[in-house]
Structure 1
Amino acid sequence: MANAEPDTLARYDAGSEDRDTESTRLPLRRRPWFQRLLTWGALIIVWQVFAVVVGSYFWPSWQDVLRGFVTVLTTGGVELVASSFLQMFVGFGLAIAVGVPIGLTIGSFRTVALVVEPYVNLLFVTSLAAVLPLLILLFGTGFTFRVAVVFLFAVFYVIINPANGVRSIDPNLVDVSRSFGVGPVRRFFVLTAPATLPFTIAGVRLGLGQAVQGMIIAELWVTTGTGRELKALSQEHVLGQFFALAMVVVLVGTLLSQLLLWAQRLITPWAASTSGVGKGDG
């Protein structure tokens, strides 16, 4: 057994070297970095041509967007986005704290699933923008309203994925653990939690994207924060600064999503490719 591990590592290293060599032998046009470079270059060219054709009043050139970035950086735009995201984290944190236990419970107990899951699925496919007026009546237009919107946008993804994770566990493993006298609490920590963790992290990643959408939509409704600034810039046709501010929001959201993906690969290397559930799935 002691010799098996070095042999396995040696085969893995050899395989990695073969893949690296194969990658370097690919023609330039087939290398991933070159394909990405071409894609971004084509996007920039199409963007610029479209701006010239329709005019800067309707679509900004890249020069306008770059000037908008400078304005955003020098006039407090980054601080405004940071403030919006800090408020978003409150609603998103509540969605995780509430959604994960509910998802695990739904997946673990059939009776709970029969009672609760129909309502979860119903709300999951409902247009949440339609309930925003009701939320304003309940919570007003302040901080609580924005937290509630972010919570509702994110929580159903955080519920559904852990539930699917529990259901994906091989029933034979559960039967074996019971036959060896493993109690429910210990079985949760040694079997259920490791098996569902990739699904849970994937659900959190999906929920994060929805939380960012909820943050902007809530701020557009009550005219505050980053949403208010985006609305004002679009109405005044300051499109270079509008796109610059929107790109800052997208970049921050993408960075947070990539951090979660990195954490998923680090914590659950055995299931790094686990994907989540989206609208219409399930």
Structure 2
Amino acid sequence: MRSLLLRLVFAVALPALLVTGWWVASAGSTDVYWPPLRTILEAFPAVWTAERLRGDVLPSVLRLAGGYALAAVVGVALGTVIGSYRRVRAVCEPVLEFLRAVPPPVLVPVIMLFAGIGDTMKVTVIAAGCVWPVLLNTVEGVRAVDPVMAETARSYGITGVARLRNLVLRSASPQIFAGLRQALSIGIILMVISEMFAASNGLGFAIVQFQRGFAIPDMWTGILVLGLLGFLLSVVFQWVERRVLGWYHGLRASARRSP
């Protein structure tokens, strides 16, 4: 119980300190672009009604989920193949390094030519940026499979799907989740960027509309919603990671306790 309370204090302390600092620093502000935090919080309930949450936040979350899921499936599948075969890796590595170096926001106009300006374009942009950390971490995780365990599996005749599921993906799963964590933050950024191009709803669209209409406190409320969404998604991801990688965290805890 005491450990849980300490963790809760540590989790809340820094956000509380930052909010307090923002409140104090902006309290006497007369700058139209830097309104007091009090003004922003007062505008929040009027701006983010249930209707606006359904009209702007929900579409953004669905696009993010679609692009993120697509990137996860493609990244893990390709990463497993590339990491498992040396010749495939040698052929693909130069191309992957070239494509990885291209910033996904630069591809937005190109993707719009092929996918139009609807949700397909936005999902594709998110997937194009999220796939790289997942793919590269999967490749490294598959390459790092313990050769002794691989030889043991071969000796016991564990091959095919059973070997892939119980040895390769299980051994690589900590690094796969590291890539998925990186991809989540990239996906949120690309979600906003994609909604700033020829969109009719979404968080990015709403923030730009507020800015163009000089509704500056409303614009800041949109930024707060975006931050809260990122925090909520991070908490959900950590919960899933703890459940899926319970065995891994248990091994690490046992290793720390060992003399």
1:21-68 CA distance string (max 9 Å, x none): 8x99xxxxxx66555555334323331343245524121222122123
The SS at the match of 1:188 is helix
120-129 or 261-270, which deviates more:
120-129
Match of 2:149 in 1: 173
Match of 1:229 in 2: 206
The SS at the match of 2:214 is coil
Structure with larger Rg: 1
2:52 aligned with 1:77, yes or no?
A: yes
Quote the sequence identity (%).
27
Question: 1:149 deviation in Å?
Answer: 0.6
1:110-142 CA distance string (max 9 Å, x none): 111112232223222322222222112222222
Aligned counterparts of 2:32 and 2:79: Cα–Cα separation in 1 = 48
Instruction: Give the TM-score normalised by structure 1.
Output: 0.78
Match of 2:139 in 1: 163
Check whether the contact 1:103–1:163 (CA below 8 A) recurs between aligned residues. Answer: yes
Question: Structure 2: which amino acid aligns with 1:76?
Answer: E
> CA 1:75 to 1:183, structure 2 compared with 1: closer, same or farther past 3 Å?
closer
Check whether the contact 1:264–1:272 (CA below 8 A) recurs between aligned residues. Answer: no
Check whether the contact 1:128–1:152 (CA below 8 A) recurs between aligned residues. Answer: yes
Match of 1:67 in 2: 42
The count of corresponding residues between Structure 1 and Structure 2 is 249
Following superposition of structure 1 onto structure 2, how do residues 90-239 of structure 1 map, counting pairs within 5 Å? 90-225=66-201, 226-239=203-216
Instruction: Give the TM-score normalised by structure 2.
Output: 0.84
Check whether the contact 1:57–1:237 (CA below 8 A) recurs between aligned residues. Answer: no
79-88 or 202-211, which deviates more:
202-211
Question: Structure 1: which amino acid aligns with 2:247?
Answer: W
1:140-170 CA distance string (max 9 Å, x none): 2222211211111111122112212112211
Check whether the contact 1:50–1:59 (CA below 8 A) recurs between aligned residues. Answer: no
Match of 1:250 in 2: 227
Check whether the contact 1:154–1:210 (CA below 8 A) recurs between aligned residues. Answer: yes
Match of 2:218 in 1: 241
1:76-99 CA distance string (max 9 Å, x none): 331111112112222222212222
The SS at the match of 2:196 is helix
CA RMSD of aligned residues (A): 2.6
The SS at the match of 2:102 is coil
Unmatched segments (≥5 aa) in structure 2: 251-259
Question: 1:239 deviation in Å?
Answer: 2.6
